[in-house]
Structure 1
């Protein structure tokens, strides 16, 4: 029932997810905010990374 992500598109989504998680951990945001964003990115890989790019914690 879910959206299956595979092939090159899946690899791109994986790289973007890892990048978003890395940038979230490096951000100056509060720990609770970081944990919430990481959970969203992990549970909703495609939508989570899109939301992160739009509204996620900003870098230094």
Structure 2
């Protein structure tokens, strides 16, 4: 069964949760410049499918 497309709410939740982790000191999983916003990093991780979070639609 192929993965479903993320809704805008799931996308916002994933980016927000990952941005919080990054702002608390988590290491980025993508290559970034020195001064970049955690939300931008989280968005880059999501676009590259490297975000370490899952969606439970149960």
TM-score w.r.t. the length of structure 1 is 0.44
More helix by share: 1
TM-score w.r.t. the length of structure 2 is 0.45
